[in-house]
Structure 1
Amino acid sequence: MKILVAMDSFKESLSSLEAGNAVKEGILSVDENIDVVVKSFADGGEGSIESVMEDINGERIDLKVHNPLGEIIDSYYEIMDDTAFIEMAKCSGLDLIPESERDPMITSSFGVGEMIRDAIRRGIRNFVVFIGGSATNDGGCGMLKALGYRFYDEFNNLIPAGGGKLNRLHYIDESRAMEEIKECKFVVASDVKNPLCGEEGASMVYSIQKGADEKMAFDLDYSLKRLAKETYDKWGIDYSNKEGAGAAGGIGFAFMAFLGGKIISGVDAVLDYSKIKEEIKDCDYVITGEGKFDRQSFMGKAAVSLCIMAKEYNVKTILLAGSVESEDKLDSEFIDGYFSIIHKPMELEELTKKDTAYKNLKNTARQIFKVIV
C-alpha cells in the first residue's frame, strides 16, 4: 500500500512537513511496511517555495531584506533555470511579527521588492511570486518603492510606509523605476479573488486579521481607493475590480497595474511546479488537511484542490482538520472521509501548541488506519 501525505500548514502551529510527519508516524505505528510518502504542500502562502523546490535542484539565494515593520532580517528566494521563485511570507509575512505589533497602517511590502530587485540585478527576468500570508495592506506600494517608484502627497512629500497614509496620495513618479522591469514577466500565485476595494476588498475582508480594527479597515479601504484613482488618472486603466487585485493587501493590484503581472491560482501553481502530481498516480490513498475545514475550503483551497486532483486518478482521499464546521454540508464526491483531529474540549491556545497538534494528528491517523489495514 502506498500513501501520499500532503498537508497544508496548520497556521501558527505546524508546518506542512511537520503535520505530514505526524500523520506518517500514526500510520506506521499500525503497519511499518506501508509506503508513506510525505510531501510539503501549500496554497501560495507560507511553505510554497518548499513545496515547489522539494524535488527540484534550484539555487537558493540568501539575502537580507526588510520585514513588514522595516527591520532587517535574513531571508531567501530560489532560482531555477531563468526564473526566480519568491514567497512573500518570507519577507512580508504575518508570521514574521508578533501579534502585539501587527498594524497594517504601517506594515510594508518593501521586502518583496528587495527580492525582485536582487534577482533582476542577477539577470533574472521571469518571476513566480507566491503572495499568501502577508502582513500588509499597502497596495503593494512598499514593493514598488523598492523598485524605484515614488509616491507623493500634494505638498510633494514622500508618502510614508504602510497603507495608512496612502489617503494623501497625489502623484505617482515612475521616472526612477528600474528600466529592466519592462523586460520582466511576473506570474503571481494567489487563491484570493477579491477586488481591491469595497465590502469584498482587501481592507474590509482581510485587514482585521492583520491587526486592524473596524475604523482602520475603513481608512485603509479609502487609501486603496485613492491609489486606484491615481493609478487610473496616470495610465487610464482601472485594475481595482480585477479578480485578485485585493490579494495580499492589494499587492495583486500593484503587480497587475504597475508590473504587467498575471494572477493564477496559488495551489495550481504549487501542483504544476512540484512533483506531487507524479506521486499521486500510483497511490492507494491521499491524505491531506488544513486547520479549518468548511465551505470556504471548496473555493480553491489547497486540501480540497489536492483531493480533486487525486480523484482524476481514482485515488481514495482523506482530509484531516483542526476543526470541522458541522453546520455546513461538507460531503463531497472528491473526499472519501473527513475527520476532526480534536478529541476532547480544549482551549484554543492549548490546541494550537505544536506538541498538541502533532499528537492529535498522529493519533487520528493511527485510529483511521487501524480500521483500514
Structure 2
Amino acid sequence: MLEITTDYGVEGDSSRIACTYEQLPTSVSVGSKILCDDGSLVMTVLECLSDSIIVRVHNDHVLEEKKNMNLPGAAIQIPGITEKDENDLLNFAIPHGVDIVSGSFVRSAANVRAIRECLGEAGRHIRVHAKIESQEALQNIDEIIAEADGIHVSRGDLGMELSPERVFLAQKMIIGKANRAGKPVVTSTQMLQSMTKKITPSNAECTDVANAVLDGTDAMMLSAETAKGMYPKEAVETMAKICVEAEQAMDYAEVYRLHRAANRKQVSMYESVASSAVEISLDMGVKLIISITDTGSSTKLLAKYRPKANILAVTSSELTARQLSGVSRGVTSMLVDSILGVEDLTLKAIVYAKDQGLIKSGEIVILVHGLDDSVSTSTNVVKVIEVAKKGYSSPKNSFFSGLHIPFI
C-alpha cells in the first residue's frame, strides 16, 4: 500500500509520496484508478482521507520527481489557469517574446479564453494552443478548436484517460477536425520511445510516425526521446526522414478534394483564392508557392489545403516568420525589410528559393499576393510564373502532367 498526500512539502519514500493536486481526496473514490508517469505506474484507491488517499500499487516502477498523474473518469477540480500559469505567462512568456503557449489539460473553450485574458494586450501576439489530454476535452473538441490557434494531440495522457486501444481513433478525429478548421495540429508523446535507449527505432514506431503524417498532422514533437534520451540528435534525424517519406507517399489530389468537400459552405474570398492557388499547383505539378504576406493569414490558408508544393512565406514580420515556420505544414519563411513592391520581392524570393534548393530554372511557380503594389493589402491575386536563369517570365501555354482535381 502507498499513501499519496496533498502536502507537497512532504519528502516521498516507498510508503508515501506527495502531489500538488489539493482536491485529490474528493476527486476520487474507493476503487478509482490512478495512473502515474504516462501509465507506467498503476494504482487503485483503497481509502480517502482528509488530505491524502491510500492506494494499492499494482506494479513495480521507479517514480521520479514531477511526473504526471491521471485520474481516468474523475471530474478534475482545478481552474483553467493556475496561479503559477499566470506567473509564467506574465513574467516569462510576454517579456521573452514567446511565440506560442500551449495550455495543458484544456477542457473547454473557456480555458483557452482564460489564457488569452491573462496575456492581455501585451501578449496578444502570442498564439494559444490547446493540449487535448482528457475525455472532457474530446467532448468539447469543436469549441476548443474554434477558440484555439492550434491543437496538440497529447497521446500519453489521452491513453490514460481513454484506453490505449482507443487513442488512434481520438488522434484521427482530432487531426481531422483541426485540418478542416485550418488550425495547425501537433502530435506528440511516445513517437520513438525506444530511442531513449536505442539508436534505432522499432518498425512499429516508424509506422506510427508515418501514419500521423498521413492523418494530417502539421508537426511532430518529441519528448522523452530528446529530453532525457541517450540519442536525441538521432531521434530528430530519424523522425525527419520518416516524415519526408510519408509526405512523398500522400495522395495530395485526394487530400485536396476531401478538404474542398468539407468546406463546401460559404468561404471567404481569401480562402477561395488560397484553395484555387493550391488547385492550380496540383494541376501543374508546381514545386513552390510563394506567398507574400503581412500577418501570415493567407499562408495559413494555403497550408490548410495541403499542397504538394512547398510554401515560401515572404514577410517583413519576424513574429509572422517564426510562427509560420514553427507549426504550419510545408511552410518556409523568408524575412524581408518590407513587403511593398511585388516585382522586387518576387525576384528576391526566387533567388532565395534557388539557394535553398526549392526550385530550379525552367520550373513553374505560383505567386500569391495583394493587388495594390504600394500598400499592404489583402491577398487576392494568383499568378503563374516560370523561373528563368535571371528572374522570371510568363510561362508559355502547354499541357502539364500534374494532378488533375475534378470540380466539386
- TM-score bin, normalised by smaller chain: under 0.3
What TM-score, normalized by structure 2, do the two folds share?
0.25
What TM-score, normalized by structure 1, do the two folds share?
0.27
State which structure, 1 or 2, has the greater radius of gyration over its C-alpha atoms.
2
Q: Give the structure, 1 or 2, with the largest relative contact order (CA under 8 Å, sep 6 or more).
A: 1
